[in-house]
Amino acid sequence: MRRLNRKKTLNLMKELDAFPKVPESYVETSASGGTVSLIAFTTIAFLTIMEFMVYRDTWMKYEYEVDKDFTSKLRINIDITVAMRCQYVGADVLDLAETMVASADGLIYEPVVFDLTPQQKELQRMLQLIQSRLQEEHSLQDVIFKSAFKSPSTALPPREDNSLQSPDACRIHGHLYVNKVAGNFHITVGKAIPHPRGHAHLAALVSHESYNFSHRIDHLSFGELIPGIINPLDGTEKIASDHNQMFQYFITVVPTKLHTYKISAETHQFSVTERERVINHAAGSHGVSGIFMKYDISSLMVTVTEEHMPFWQFLVRLCGIIGGIFSTTGILHGFGRFVAEIIFCRFRLGSHRSTSVPLPDGHTSNHLPLITDNSTH
C-alpha cells in the first residue's frame, strides 16, 4: 500500500510539473542559436552588473509637512570677515516679533588680515566652484546630503604665513539663538546699544573715510551645525566700490530634518537673493551702510530621508531581467528563422521554375516532369 501511495504521489507531482523536460534526442542545436545564446548571456551579465550598482546606490526622499514647532529657538551660525577694524563695527539681530534687539553676546570679534593666503584662496576658489555647480546641477545637493557627517569644520584653515601685517579686518564668528520668526541680522558701523524705542549704533565717532564693508562669508547656516553641508552663502566675497555701500541678503529659511545612514540631525536649508547699492541721499538712495541679512521662516518643514532598494525588490528585478531577456531573444530568434525559411523557400521555388524540359513538338516546359512508374524503369 505504501508503494502504491508513493507512486500515486509521484504521478501527481509529475502532472503538476510546469517545466516539462525534452529528451536530448529531440533537441537540435544550431550556429544561429548559439550566437543568440551568447548575446543573451552577455546582455544578462551586463544588466546584472548595472542592476547591482543600482542596488548599492541610495537616493534621497523628500517629504513636506507643516512646521508646528513655534516655541523653540532658531540657532544662527555665523563666520563673516569685514574689512574694518573690530572697534568700528557692531553686529546684532532685530527680532520683528518683539520689536527689540536680540542679544548677540555669543559672537566673537577677532582682528584678522582681510587678504587670504594662497592656500586659503585655493580652498575658497574650490568652494565657489562647487556653489556655481550647485546652481546648475540641483541633484548635487543629494550628494552633499549623503556625504554629510560630523567632522572638523569646512571653514578656511588658519593662516600659516605668520604675517607681520597689522590686522585690518574683523572676523565675526560664533552662534546666537533667536525666535523662529522673521528677523534682521546686520553688521554696521558702531557698537549696538539698547534703546527703549528700538536700537541704535554708535557711529558718530567713526569717520566716513574708514567705511569699508567689503566682506567675506566663510559660513552662514541655521539650525544644528553640520560641517559637511555646503550652504548657499559659503565662500561669498563682496568688494565694496564705495565707502557708503549697503549689502542686502534676503533669506528664506526652511526647517529640514535630515536622516541618512551617516547622520540624523535637524537643520535648516535656505535660499537667498542678493542686492547691493551705494547710499546717496542726494540721488534718492537712502539707507544705512552695512551688511543686512533679512531672514524669514517658512511654514513648511522638509524631511529628507536616505533610502535604499530592498533586497527582495532587487531579486524581483533581477529575475525579470533574466526571464525577459531569455523570452525576448527566443522570440527574436524564432522570428528570424521564420523569415529566413520563407526567403530560402521562395529562392528554391524560383530556381525550380527556371528549369525547362523539352517537349516532342519543339516547345519547352518550365515545369518539372512528374515522376511515374514508367519513368523509373
State the pLDDT at residue 375: 46
- The residue behind cell 522570440 is 331
Q: What's the N-to-C CA distance of the chain in angstroms?
A: 67
At residue 151, the pLDDT reads 47
The per-residue pLDDT for 370 is 47
Per-residue pLDDT at 344 exceeds 60? yes
pLDDT at position 16 over 50: yes
> What pLDDT score does 114 carry?
87
- Residue 376: pLDDT band (50, 70, 90) is very low
Specify whether the CB–CB gap between 272 and 228 falls below 8 A: no
- Report, as an integer, the average pLDDT of 344-348: 71
Q: What whole-number percentage of the chain has pLDDT above 90?
A: 11
Higher pLDDT, 267 or 165: 267
Alpha helices in the chain (DSSP H): 2-15, 31-56, 118-136, 140-147, 311-353
The count of C-alpha atoms lying within 13 angstroms of the C-alpha of 142, restricted to the half-sphere facing its C-beta, is 12
What pLDDT does residue 295 have? Answer: 93
31-56 vs 311-353: helix crossing angle, rounded to 10: 160
Task: Work out the average pLDDT over 364-377.
Answer: 48
What is the tens place of the pLDDT at every residue in 82-105? 999 888 888 888 877 655 555 556
The per-residue pLDDT of the chain, averaged, comes to 78
Domain borders along the chain are: 32-59+306-323, 71-240+285-290
Q: Regarding predicted confidence, which is higher, 362 or 110?
A: 110
The answer to which of 49-63, 273-287, 337-351 has the lowest mean pLDDT is 337-351
Per-residue pLDDT of 121-155, as tens digits, reads 888 888 888 777 777 766 556 666 666 655 445 56
**Beta strand 245-259 with 300-308: parallel, antiparallel or unpaired?**
parallel
Report percent pLDDT > 70 for the chain. 74
